[in-house]
A and B are shown apart, each in its own frame.
Chain A
Amino acid sequence: SQTIHQWPATLVQPVGSPLSLECTVEGTSNPNLYWYRQAAGRGLQLLFYSVGIGQISSEVPQNLSASRPQDRQFILSSKKLLLSDSGFYLCAWILSGAGRSSPLHFGNGTRLTVT
C-alpha cells in the first residue's frame, strides 16, 4: 500500500533563515505531488504541484520554491523565511492519471513557526 511521509513534524525558525521541508511517497511510481499551506483561520492554499521529476508548477507567487529531485520526493524550500511563512504545510499525492474524481492523499503535515 502507498504511504506518504513528511518531516519534520514541527519546526521553529528565525526570520531570514533557510527552510527545507521534505515529503516522500512510498508504494507507487510517478505520483502527482502537491504542497498546500494552511494558515491560521484560512483554508488550504495550493502552493505547488508536480507531475514528474523536475516539473514544478507554482500557484502563488511567494517566498517559497519547490523541487522534485526524485520520482517520489518533493521538497519545499526557502532561502530566507518571512514571518508570513508561518503555517501548517501539507504534502499530498495522487496516482498519475487518476483524474479529477480521485481524492488527494495527505501527509501528517509540518507546523512551521517563524519567529
Chain B
Amino acid sequence: AQKVTQAQTEISVVEKEDVTLDCVYETRDTTYYLFWYKQPPSGELVFLIRRNSFDEQNEISGRYSWNFQKSTSSFNFTITASQVVDSAVYFCALSEAEGAGFQKLVFGTGTRLLVSP
C-alpha cells in the first residue's frame, strides 16, 4: 500500500534562514505522482507542485525548490530565505494506484513551519 511519511512534525526558523521539509514515500507502482500542498492558517490547501516518477530533475520556483530522488524514495522541499508568510503546514502527497483512472491522494501527516521575524 502507498504511504507518505513526513517525520518532521514542526520546524521553527528565523526569517531568511533556509529550511528543508522532508518527505519519504512508499509505493509499488512504477508510475506515480508526488505533490506538495501548503495549508496557511486560513485552512485551505494550496497546490504547490507535482512531480511524476519518470522525471527526477530538480525544480526551482522562486525561493522554492524540490529534490526528487527515486533511489531514496524522497521528495524534499526547500524554502530559501524563508519569510514569515511561509508559515504554514506543508503536506506531501502520493497519487494512489487506482484502476478507474481517477485521482486519489495519500497524504503525509504534514510539517508545520513557523517562521519568526
Contacts and interface: CB of A to CB of B under 8 A. Distances in A.
Interface of A: 32, 36, 41-46, 49, 51, 88, 90, 92, 94, 96-109, 111
A49 B107 CA distance: 15
Contacts of A45: 107
14 contacts: A44-B45, A44-B107, A44-B110, A45-B107, A98-B102, A98-B103, A100-B98, A100-B102, A101-B33, A102-B50, A106-B44, A106-B45, A108-B43, A109-B43
Interface residues of B, number: 30
Nearest to B29: A100
Contacts of A101: 33, 50, 52, 95
Nearest to A99: B101
Given A42-B109, A43-B108, A103-B50, A97 B45 contact: no
B55 to A, nearest CB: 11
Given A98-B102, A99-B101, A100-B98, A108 B42 contact: yes
